[in-house]
Structure 1
Amino acid sequence: MIAETVCSAVSAAGLGIAAITAYRKRFLAAARIVAYSLVPLGLVMTGAVEWLARTAFSPVAWAGFGVLGGAWLLFMTTRAVERRRGGTRKERKEAKAAARGAAVEPSASVPSLGQAARPAPRPKTKSGGADAADDFSDIEAILKKHGI
């Protein structure tokens, strides 16, 4: 009963402030204030305030909020551990299979093509670093590893 009265008073005060704001020719701000001040009145009319007041003083409701908080905490903890381990068991299995497939493919193709199919060693550039094609092969290997 008291909560409904307070919400109604807050709505009335907000509507008064909106009227003053509109009088000062600030209509957009006045419309926004009216919207905010109608929210408590709407909550009273729907019965949400009464439900909230009943819930706030109920020990069973607080125990329910505690259980929900514990479930949320457990869920977030398991997600954090799963991310730290590197994904779910299925994702790890798929990653291992992809790694095995990538490791088998190049060695399987070399004997069937013979000695002539093997690429010659690339000469070093003047700077002593690897060639630009080597950089791209590293990137391709990383992308293949991640299945892209």
Structure 2
Amino acid sequence: MLSAAISFILTAGGVAFAGLRAYRRRFLSATRWFAVALLPAGLYLTGLFPLASTIAREFADWATRLVFDPRVWTGIALLGVSAVLLVTTRWVGRRGGTAVESAPERPAAAGPAPERPAVAAPAPKAAKKPAAGKREDGLGDFADIEEILRKRGI
């Protein structure tokens, strides 16, 4: 009976606040408050308050086990180690990896593996030479504009 009284008091208070918001011509806010105000009465009338109580109790039990049970902390540590290993191997794989992973496995009876040809490093790009008539101080475009303006007499 107490939960019924509390739910209907909350609903009445929310509807009153929504009415104040509507009186101040804030209809969007008033509609939101009215919708939220209907929740406690709806939860009570559908019988969902006992369900919410059960969920809260189970969540509290789970949280207590999480904090005080050493097996849970061992599981968390294992999950952390797994995550670190996955991230590390992904990072190493992106940086080039090791030759052990990239070389195909060959049976020992097949003899020594043939040598791979060395990959040549790309040649450095040649520096661009400035075009004739352009300044080398980074104002080459301005020199062109200046020349056009001079031809027009501006």
Structure 1: runs of 5 or more not aligned: 111-117, 124-130, 133-148
Tell me the residue number matched to 2:86. Answer: 87
Question: For 2:65 and 2:38, how far apart are their aligned partners in 1?
Answer: 33
- Once the two structures are TM-superposed, the CA of residue 65 in structure 1 deviates from its matched residue by 5.4
For the structure 1 residues 72 and 16, does the alpha-carbon distance in structure 2 shift closer, same or farther, using more than 3 Å as the test? farther
Change (3 A) 1:122 1:3: closer
Considering fraction of residues, name the structure with more helix: 1
Structure 1 partner of 2:7? 7
Q: Does 1:66 align with 2:64?
A: yes
Instruction: Map 1:17-96; keep pairs closer than 5 Å.
Output: 17-53=17-53, 63=61, 66-67=64-65, 75-84=75-84, 86-87=85-86
Q: What is the CA–CA distance in structure 1 between the aligned matches of 2:102 and 2:121, rounded to whole Å?
A: 22
- Larger Rg belongs to: 2
Structure 2 CA distance, aligned partners of 1:55 and 1:20?
34
1:12 and 1:29 mapped to 2: Cα distance?
17
Residues of 2 paired with 1:51 and 1:119: CA distance?
67
| Map of 1:16 onto structure 2 | 16
Residues 1-60 of structure 1: CA deviation (Å, up to 9, x unaligned)? 21221111011111011112212211111001101111111211221213444676x7x8
Count of residues in Structure 1 that have an aligned counterpart in Structure 2: 108
**Counterpart of 1:83 in 2: which secondary structure?**
helix
Q: Secondary structure of 1:87's match?
A: helix
Greater relative CO (CA pairs within 8 A, separation 6+): 1
Quote the offset at 1:103 in angstroms.
Answer: 4.8
Amino acid at match of 1:25: R
TM-score when normalising by structure 2: 0.48
- The residue correspondences of 1:95-110 to structure 2 (distance < 5 A) are 99-103=99-103, 108-110=115-117
